[in-house]
Amino acid sequence: MIYLTMPMCYHTSQMGIINLLPENLINQIAAGEVVERPASVVKELIENSIDAGATEMIVDIEDGGRKLIRVTDNGCGMSREDALLSLQRHATSKISTVTDLFNISTLGFRGEALPSIASVSRLKLTTVPKGSISGTSIQIDGGKEVEVKEFGGAVGTTIEVRDLFFNTPARLKFMKSTTTELSHITETITRMAISYPSIRFIYNHNGSPIYNLPSSKDLLSRVCGMIKEEEKSFLPVSLNSKINVSGYVSGPDINRPTQKSIYIFVNGRFVRDRVILHALMDACRTVMEKDRYPLAFLFLDVPPSDVDVNVHPAKSEVRFKKTDEIHRAVYAAVSEALKGWTEKKTSGQWPVVSGQRNEFQTPDSNYQERVMEAIGRYAASNSSEFGVRNYPIPSPTLPLKGREFFPRLQGEGQGEGGVVEFFSSLTVLGRVGGTYIVCSTGNDLCLIDQHAAHERIAFERLKKTYRDSRPESQTLLIPEVVDLPQSEGMLIGEHLEVLSRTGLEVEHFGGDTFVIKSVPAALSDKNIRGLVRDIADELAHSGRTKSIDELMERLFSRMACHSAVEGGDYMDPREIAALLRDLDSIDFSSNCPHGRPVFVMLSQVEIEKMFGRR
C-alpha cells in the first residue's frame, strides 16, 4: 500500500490551493535569473540603448552599482504610452510573432529586463521620443509605480537604477566588494564597446572617468586602447562565406593563462560558446604554447534563423543549427590569419614551444593501464597543505614509479633538517630534447623536465616565503611601468598588500598605470609586464571565488611559470647541479603547480621488461 501523506497535508479544506502569483512577485522571480548583479543591469540597459539606435551612451556608476546605475542614451526614446508599457512584463517592441523569435536581430526580445530590474530597485525612467521636446518620467520603487509625470529634455532615454536589491535582502547579501562589482561592470562595458566601436561610450565611477571612448571606425584601435596592447600584436581574421568571421587574434607571443581575453560575438552579442572556442584553440594549437590562450576578438555573422538565442534569460549562450559549419568557419578563418606565423615557426625561425611532450611508444599492451595505476597511487598520496588537491595529473609518457625509489614521496623522513639527498646523488648522463635531464641512480633511469623542475622550485619558495611572512624580493634597478586594462588594474589595485607578501611590490601610479618596484627573488623573469598581466588574469579568473589560501596557491603557480629557465634553454653542468640540489629541498608530497610531472623514473625492472628479459 502506498501512503501519499505529503499532498494530503495541504488539502485541509475543499478550497483550491493553487494561486496565481502577483505580478510583482513574478517579476522578482524573473529578476533572479536576469539580474544577477549590478553588471547584469548595466548589460540589459546598454542592450536596450543599442536596440534603440543610440550612437552615444553615458554610464554613471556609484559605489560599484549598489547605489546607482544610470545609463543615458541618445536613442529613439519612447512615447508616454510605450514608456508605461515597457515596464510591464512581456512588453517588447522587438518581436511579435513566433517567426520573429527565430529571426532575432536585436539584442533584447524577452520583454523582461525593465520590469525585473524595476521590481528589485528604485527605478526612474525618463524618455523623450524622436521629434518631440517633451517626454515622460516614471518613478517605480520595488515594482510599485510612485509617480508618472511630464518631462522636457533632449531626445533619448535615461534609466536610473538606485539601491539595487533594497527589497530583496537575500540578494543583497550576495553582492561582493565595490571593486569586484565594478570590475564586472567594466568587463560588461568593455564587451559592449568592442562589439560596437561606432558608439561613443562614456563611463564614470563615483564621478571619475573610467572610459571615454570616441566613436571609431577602427575596431583594433578601440580594442587596443582598452586592453592596453599594441595594434601590431594582432593579426586580422577575415572569412567571407555563409558565415562571416571577422576580427583579430593575437600572435603567439602575446598570450594569457586563461580564456578571459577571448571575446566572441555572434550577431553583435557577446557569447560564451564552446564550439567557437574549441575551433579557435584548434587553429592556434600549432603556434600557441600549451596551457596558454590567445587574445581574440571574433565576430560571427550567422543568419538569424540559424541561431537560437533564446537559450538562457541572460542570453549569453546561443545554440547553432549547424554546429559543424560554425566550427569549420572559425577554424578556417583563424588558421588563415595565423598562417604567416605558422610558416615562420615550422621553418625554424620561431623558438621551440615548451611543454609539448614526446610520445613514447611501447609494444606492451598493458602499458597504459600500468601507467594509470601508478598515477592513481601517486595521486592518491597527494595532499596539499593549502587543501587544494584537484590539479589534474596528466598521464606521463613513462611509468611513474617515483614512490618506490623516493622515500619522501611516502611522507616519511621529511622536515626542515631532514633533507634527503636524492637528486644531488644522481649521475647526470646528459640532456635530450633540449629539455630533459637524463640521470642515473646506478640501477634506474631518472628523467627530469628542467622547466617543470624550475617551476616547482619557484612555486615552493614562493609558498614558503609567503607562509613565513618573509618575502624575498629583488628590487628592480629601474622600476617597470605597466599600463593595465581597467578591470585588471582594479583587481591588482585591490590585492597590492597580498602581492607584497610574495615579494612583488606594485604601486598604483594613477589612472591605468602601475609601477613595479620589486619582484619575488624566486623569479628572475625579464617579462615583468607579462608576469603582472598573468597575475591580473588569475585574479579575475579565480580571485572572486576562491579562499585566500587557494587564491595564493593559484597565484604562486602563475608566478612560477615565470621562473628563469624555459624548456629548450641551455643549462651548463653547474646549473644542472644547482637545480638538482634545489630539487632536494622540495617536498614532493604536495601537488605541483600544473600537475605535470617534474621527473619520471624508469626502474631497472621496467627497462628489462622492455627488452623482453622479464
Binding-site ranges for ligand ADP (CB under 6 A): 44, 48-49, 52, 73, 75-78, 86, 91-94, 108-114, 157
113 is a site residue for Mg ion (CB under 5 A): yes
Q: Which does 52 bind (CB under 5 to 8 A by kind): Mg ion, ligand ADP, none?
A: ligand ADP
Taking CB under 5 A as the binding criterion, the range among 6-14, 43-51, 167-175, 207-215 that sits at the site for Mg ion is 43-51
In single-letter form, the type of residue at position 121 comes to S
Measured from the CB atom, is 84 or 571 closer to ligand ADP?
A: 84
The count of residues interacting with Mg ion (CB under 5 A) is: 3
**Who contacts 124 (Cβ-Cβ below 8 Å, separation ≥6)?**
137, 138, 139, 140, 158, 159, 160, 162
**Beta strand pairing call for 255-256 and 293-294:** antiparallel
Instruction: Tell whether residue 309 is a contact of Mg ion (CB under 5 A).
Output: no
Least distance CB 355 / ligand ADP (angstroms): 45
How many angstroms separate the CA atoms of 172 and 26, rounded?
19
Q: How far is 462 from 500, CA to CA, in rounded Å? A: 12
Express the helix, strand and coil content of the chain in percent, nearest 5 each: 40, 20, 40
- Answer for which of 65, 75, 108, 471 binds Mg ion (CB under 5 A) is 108
- Cβ atoms of residues 73 and 59 within 8 Å: no
Question: Based on CB atoms, which residue is closest to ligand ADP, 47 or 229?
Answer: 47
CB of 158 to ligand ADP, least distance (A): 8
Residue 111 interacts with which of Mg ion, ligand ADP, none, CB < 5 to 8 Å by class: ligand ADP
Given ligand ADP, Mg ion, none, residue 112, with its beta carbon under 5 to 8 Å by kind, binds ligand ADP
CA dist 157 and 164 (Å) reads 20
d(CA 351, CA 233): 17
- CB nearer to Mg ion: give 48 or 487: 48
Pick from 30, 49, 25: nearest CA to 125: 49
For Mg ion, the binding residues in 518-547 under the rule CB under 5 A are: none
Residue nearest to ligand ADP (CB): 108
CB neighbour burial string for 357-368, b if at least 16 within 10 angstroms, e if fewer: eeeeeeeeeebe
- Nearest distance from residue 151's CB to ligand ADP, in Å? 14
- Look at residue 178 and give the partner it binds from Mg ion, ligand ADP, none, a contact being a CB closer than 5 to 8 Å depending on partner kind: none
Closest separation in Å from C-beta 185 to Mg ion: 17
326 sits in which H/E element: helix 323-346
Partner that binds at residue 188, options Mg ion, ligand ADP, none, CB closer than 5 to 8 Å by kind: none
Pick from ligand ADP, Mg ion, none: which does 275 bind, CB < 5 to 8 A by kind?
Answer: none
Buried-state track 557-586, b at ≥16 Cβ within 10 A, e below 16: bbbbbbbebbbeeebeeeebeebbebbeeb
Q: With CB cut-offs between 5 and 8 Å by kind, which of Mg ion, ligand ADP, none does residue 157 bind? A: ligand ADP
When asked if residue 48 is in the footprint of Mg ion (CB under 5 A), the reply is: yes
Rounded least distance, CB 157 to Mg ion, Å: 12
Nine-digit cell string for 443:
640501477
State in angstroms the smallest separation of the CB of 52 from Mg ion.
Answer: 10
Q: How far is the C-alpha of 371 from the C-alpha of 357, rounded, in Å?
A: 16
Tell me the closest approach of the beta carbon of residue 579 to ligand ADP, in angstroms. Answer: 60
CB of 25 to Mg ion, least distance (A): 21
Residues lying near Mg ion in the complex (CB under 5 A) are found at: 48, 108, 113
